[in-house]
Structure 1
Amino acid sequence: MSINTTLSSLPINTTRNANGNGVMLSITIAAIYNGITGIIALTINAPLAYIIITRRTLWKIPHIRLCSMCFTSIILALLYCLPYPWISSSPPTSVLKIIQKPLRNFLLASFCFHLASDAVDKVVIIAFPFQYKSFVRPSIVGLNLTLVWLISLFVSFYPIISPLRRKSNVTYLTGSISEEANYHYVFYSLCIILPYSVIILCHGYLFVVALRHVRNIDYQQSKSMEELKRGRQRIIKKFRAARPLIVTSVVFLIFTVPYFVCLFIAFSLGDLPWEIRKKHLGVLMNALKASSYGLRELAFSYPAYNPFIFILFSQDLRKEIAEFLRISRKKPLLQSASTTRMTSTHLI
């Protein structure tokens, strides 16, 4: 038998069996939060993607990667967040209901792979500053982003495209909890733990390189203070490129780790024999409730808020956004002035 539901569906289904009112409350909370998240995602990501695409000065590798992440956020808003109330009340055999949770997993996996790719990019910039352009060409970046999307799609939608899935109802748990968990252990290991292992290794490397540079400067006592000052300034400028990555990674962990911990508890206890499970029933139910009443939606809403961080740390983006807003404000004034002149000419 195949596995067709995501790990995140287990808390909802278990809670539904235990308490229908609790399920309705969790769906209402999720609908409100997803509606707010969808509006924020469209408001931020759609204009940002438009600005990056239409401004040639922003056609740089980090911005191209950010634009790709913006499109994942737009898909999240249009296909998951905004229609969430209708999807939740639709029959189990509807297309949107079937793809709802795999789509959400796809967006999370895609974001993790994007962040890992960005981490590797920052390491290459610092480790090989002169060879960077030969290592990281636009064609390589395009291939990398294509692979990110394809791998995320395949792994996330495997429960649907699997030929072994149950044909009677593709949204049901198709096997035991352990069988369901096996798929998600693979999914979270490949799409969450692996990318974040890469990110942590890259952060560690950047830290070691920074300490090495500082130590070398301190040892060079024969140089003048002016030369030491210039050397420190160059190092600081070089490592500023890694700040968005570090902040983005930390915020992502804050958003997602509580949810992953609750799900790990749910699957670990849910697969135990009943005699052992009933001893920890309170812990299990609290983990399921915490997951259903906010942690799940918080974890999967991260793509909507991610561009805030890049805008804060990118001077190019802030400059182009300010220019875009300035031009947008001028257009109505120019159109009004043109209309006034035409009216005056007509009256004369």
Structure 2
Amino acid sequence: MMSAMKGWAFALVVIFSVLLSWSIPRGESERAFLSFSSHEPLVKVVSLASADGGQDFFMEMTDSVAMNIEYDFYSDTCPEAETIVRSTMAQIYSQHKNVSAQLLRLFFHDCFIQGCDASVLLDHSNGNKNHSVEKQAVPNKTLKGFDKIDQIKEVLENVCPAVVSCADILALATRDGVVLAGGPFYPLFTGRRDSARSYYDEAMAEIPKPDDNITQTLHLFSLRGFTDRETVSLLGGHNIGKIGCEFIQSRLHNFKGTGKPDPTVSPSFLNEMRVFCEDNGNEKSSQGSSIAATMASPMAFPTAGPMASSPMASRGMKLVERQRTSLC
């Protein structure tokens, strides 16, 4: 199981960017059965395997609610749309290497609640400025990258006014950010429609939290059609970006109220984390408030080395990452 997990990690690191964007791999071996359900906004992966050692994504989507998404959706209305997104992202990335991780997380938080509809970008819901919106939900308060989407949108509006949806901009920009960070390219359907409604309550209740246990995490993903095995595989794909020290403080100092650190964390790694997060229990580290997923290069995709499989090497600091190893 461990070797299989390592083989999947690189492809799965894009997590919902691939799974939620209705993407289909190219090649003679491709097989996909596409139908869409308004009740199940996420795609379910039913197997991951290929004879040549690569990854083939076999997606099963139930029901028959048609969605008007396709490859090169803007070929007539804004033929340069994807090129503009790609070139603008390249400019942004050259100055802000953290944009890839920011957009990947932003895209995940958008897609996990009612599908990839850009509802997380809204400042008000259905025109009601007094209604709480998704970006105000606790799990979303640390989201970043909104300004980058606005920047790309502004460039597109100058060329093709009121044509390209924000949902597509977020999907395309995330994909291009993944590629710029050294991750895999994956083709995307486009033609998504933007939501006018924001889902604050759903975001508060259904976005997985860093300190969720494995039971809660499996439940949240199962509501979106993912099996336990698929969820565990996705959890193993975390290898870009940062996590705030405040999310792991209890494991370093007072695990479950014992006054001691989590005994499942190796002593050497525990000491390493305490260097990054002050040993007096403060939320912010003397070297910064976040821990890099990879200490040397937190904004690039590792393809080899110890951090490429850190959770399996007892270096997963989110509680659910530690608990998932018992399922492998």
Task: Sort the TM-score into its range (normalised by shorter chain).
Answer: under 0.3
**TM-score, structure 1 normalization:** 0.23
- Specify which structure has the bigger relative contact order, considering alpha-carbon pairs within 8 angstroms and separated by 6 or more residues: 1
**TM-score, structure 2 normalization:** 0.24
- Which structure shows the bigger proportion of residues in helix conformation? 1
